[in-house]
């Protein structure tokens, strides 16, 4: 019967030519993304790593053997290969896990954070089971869980893991009926004990200059109610904030949120675009005397649940360049010690974390590697509601298969192994604390036999050199002059 149907139908040539067995083509096509992702390796610096790192996250999350036999898979003579300098005087591995204190001068309720935390991913992009597992994982492991811009859902609060509440341009969770910021609603949630810090999202690396997107196919009544949006349409947040429109306005908003939250650390997340605009924020910090408690720098290589491909591939400064710029600018205006820097973008191993810390980050946020810890197989169906692992879907028949307790343990285990390996690396470098890491500790083969360390590749500008009366470095002069505290 199937063969007769295939011969008579007109929409699939393959089935008319190959009745019955032609269906195998569609079967294989439907699982191709998973197969392809498993066997075709993508790269970082031209080095095939995707499969290696995903396998590593799985092993560490499951608590199975994660050592490697035989040696590195990297071609160490290839341009772009990077490594860390170890010491002939390695230190003992520290017993205590490091913590980093967030909260500058204007903050009365500082937060001692882990060096690695879960990056922003909303309830909506992720299923309720995935959110529950991440939050329980954060609770078990003593680290923080960023809510993403979709608001604080009940699933973020059941386990009681520390939350960083992210507020995007849609103001979900603190939104008036007209879609503007509502101070009263904000205060209600911000004052909850479980909320430890507040993050204003200006942009994210995968789609900078574009608001958040939740495809209509993933919008359930429950999510629509939490976000205060109508059913049946894609939820697309505006590209820009309505609560402020200038660098000074942003900092006034930071101060307002800090006060409304009862003195919790408040910062903002962005992917660096026009340098003058960020320098405008720096000028506004000096002029207003208001500093954010932290700045999250997301790389153009960042991930997303859904975004236009041009924005994902070709907009936004890559992480390391953006991070060095932000770190340098804060040094230049003499406020680096007041503002913590969080970095996010393609980190899977402790070396990836350490590399960012050496370049100036204080802590690192991870999104996709945490998804791997939950069991993501990178089928890239987050925007279709057909996620085969129940992580990035709102279809109950799919997400119910995700066991919250089991996956939470995996998330916690993966985090614990990262911290352990980070401490091991630090000890191997002969260092005792994370802040002793410097750019000179990381080397890169730049061209054949030429090797440079990060201090040579990415020279920082001198402390205070952007302040009144100081000599502004030549390469910064133009941007610094053009930057304005009163407009972007």
Ligand X SMILES: Cc1cc2nc3c(=O)[nH]c(=O)nc-3n(C[C@H](O)[C@H](O)[C@H](O)COP(=O)(O)O)c2cc1C
Nearest distance in Å: CB 132, ligand X: 16
Nearest distance in Å: CB 392, ligand X: 6
Q: Which residue in 57, 61, 116, 125 binds ligand X (CB under 6 A)?
A: 125
Q: Is 363 in the site for ligand X (CB under 6 A)?
A: no
Q: Which residue in 347, 349, 363, 421 binds ligand X (CB under 6 A)?
A: 347
How far is residue 102's CA from residue 109's CA, in Å, rounded to a whole number?
9
Q: Which residue in 98, 106, 137, 148 binds ligand X (CB under 6 A)?
A: 148
Q: Is 382 in the site for ligand X (CB under 6 A)?
A: yes
Nearest distance in Å: CB 437, ligand X: 20
Q: Is 305 in the site for ligand X (CB under 6 A)?
A: yes
Q: Which residue in 104, 115, 151, 212 binds ligand X (CB under 6 A)?
A: 212
Two structure tokens written together for 341: 């820097």
**Number of residues that this document lists for the chain:** 488
Asked if 181 and 272 count as a contact pair (C-beta separation under 8 A), the reply is: no
Q: Residue written as tokens 């503002």?
A: 339
**Cα–Cα distances in Å, from 100 out to 53, 276, 421?**
26, 29, 17
Q: Kindly compute the dihedral angle of the four CA atoms of residues 350, 356, 358, 359, in this order, to the nearest 10 degrees.
A: 170
By the 10 Å C-beta count (0-12 exposed, 13-18 middle, 19+ buried), 92 is classed as exposed
Which residues have a Cβ under 8 Å from the Cβ of 310 and sit 6 or more positions away?
A: none
Closest to 374 measured CA to CA, from 31, 71, 135: 135
Q: Is 345 in the site for ligand X (CB under 6 A)?
A: yes
By the 10 Å C-beta count (0-12 exposed, 13-18 middle, 19+ buried), 29 is classed as exposed
Q: Which residue in 106, 161, 273, 302 binds ligand X (CB under 6 A)?
A: 302
Asked if 329 and 281 count as a contact pair (C-beta separation under 8 A), the reply is: no
3-state secondary structure of 242: coil
Nearest distance in Å: CB 301, ligand X: 7
Q: Which residue in 98, 115, 303, 322 binds ligand X (CB under 6 A)?
A: 303
Q: Is 269 in the site for ligand X (CB under 6 A)?
A: yes
Q: Which residue in 114, 117, 119, 237 binds ligand X (CB under 6 A)?
A: 119
Q: Which residue in 201, 207, 275, 331 binds ligand X (CB under 6 A)?
A: 201
Q: Which residue in 114, 135, 157, 304 binds ligand X (CB under 6 A)?
A: 304
Nearest distance in Å: CB 2, ligand X: 38
Q: Which residue in 100, 121, 159, 323 binds ligand X (CB under 6 A)?
A: 121
Nearest distance in Å: CB 167, ligand X: 10
Q: Is 379 in the site for ligand X (CB under 6 A)?
A: no
Determine how β-strand 442-447 pairs with β-strand 450-453: antiparallel
Asked if 4 and 15 count as a contact pair (C-beta separation under 8 A), the reply is: no
Size of residue set near ligand X by CB under 6 A: 28
Nearest distance in Å: CB 8, ligand X: 43
Residues between 437 and 456 with contacts to ligand X, criterion CB under 6 A = none
Q: Is 298 in the site for ligand X (CB under 6 A)?
A: yes
**CB under 6 A: which stretch of 84-92, 241-249, 297-305, 460-468 binds ligand X?**
297-305
Beta strands in 216-265 (DSSP E): 235-236
Closest to 269 measured CA to CA, from 200, 358, 205: 200
Binding positions for ligand X, rule: CB under 6 A: 119-122, 125, 148-149, 166, 201, 204-205, 212, 269, 298, 302-305, 344-347, 366-369, 382, 392
């Amino acid at each position: 019967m199937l063969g007769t149907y295939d011969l008579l139908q007109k929409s699939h040539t393959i089935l008319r030519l190959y009745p019955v067995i032609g269906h195998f083509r569609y079967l294989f096509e439907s699982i191709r993304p998973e197969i392809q992702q498993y066997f075709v390796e993508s790269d970082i610096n031209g080095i095939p790593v995707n499969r290696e790192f995903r396998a590593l996250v799985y092993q560490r999350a499951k608590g199975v053997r994660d050592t490697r036999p035989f040696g590195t898979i990297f071609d160490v003579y290839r341009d772009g290969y990077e490594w860390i300098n170890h010491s002939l005087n390695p230190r003992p591995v520290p017993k205590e896990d490091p913590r980093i204190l967030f909260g500058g001068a204007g903050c009365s309720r500082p937060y001692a954070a882990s060096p690695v935390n879960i990056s922003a991913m909303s309830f909506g992009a992720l299923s309720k089971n995935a959110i529950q597992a991440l939050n329980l994982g954060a609770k078990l492991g003593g680290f923080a869980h960023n809510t993403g811009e979709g608001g604080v859902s009940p699933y973020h609060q059941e386990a009681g893991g520390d939350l960083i509440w992210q507020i995007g341009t849609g103001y979900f969770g603190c939104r008036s009926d007209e879609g503007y910021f509502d101070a009263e609603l904000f205060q209600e949630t911000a004052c909850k004990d479980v909320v430890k810090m507040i993050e204003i999202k200006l942009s994210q690396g995968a789609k900078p200059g574009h608001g958040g997107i939740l495809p209509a196919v993933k919008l359930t009544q429950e999510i629509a109610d939490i976000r205060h949006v109508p059913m049946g349409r894609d939820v697309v947040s505006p590209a820009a904030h309505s609560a402020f429109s200038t660098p000074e306005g942003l900092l006034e908003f930071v101060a307002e949120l800090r006060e409304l939250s009862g003195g919790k650390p408040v910062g903002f997340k962005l992917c660096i675009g026009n340098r003058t605009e960020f320098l405008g924020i720096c000028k506004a910090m000096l002029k207003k005397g208001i500093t954010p408690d932290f700045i999250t720098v997301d790389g153009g290589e960042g991930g997303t649940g859904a975004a236009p491909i041009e924005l994902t591939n070709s907009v936004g400064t890559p992480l390391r360049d953006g991070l060095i710029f932000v770190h340098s600018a804060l040094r230049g205006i003499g406020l680096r010690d007041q503002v913590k820097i969080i970095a996010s973008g393609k980190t899977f191993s402790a070396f990836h974390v350490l590399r960012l810390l050496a370049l100036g980050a204080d802590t690192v946020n991870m999104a996709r590697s945490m998804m791997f810890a939950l069991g993501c197989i990178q089928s890239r169906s987050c925007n279709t509601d057909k996620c085969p692992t129940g992580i990035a879907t709102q279809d109950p028949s799919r997400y119910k298969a995700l066991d919250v307790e089991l996956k939470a343990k995996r998330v916690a285990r993966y985090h614990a192994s990262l911290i352990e390996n980070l401490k091991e690396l630090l000890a191997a470098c002969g260092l005792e604390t994370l802040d002793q890491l410097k750019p000179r500790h990381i080397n890169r083969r730049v061209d054949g036999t030429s090797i440079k360390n990060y201090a040579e590749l990415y020279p920082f500008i001198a402390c205070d050199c952007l302040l009144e009366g100081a000599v502004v470095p030549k390469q910064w002069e133009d941007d610094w002059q053009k930057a304005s505290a009163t407009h972007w």
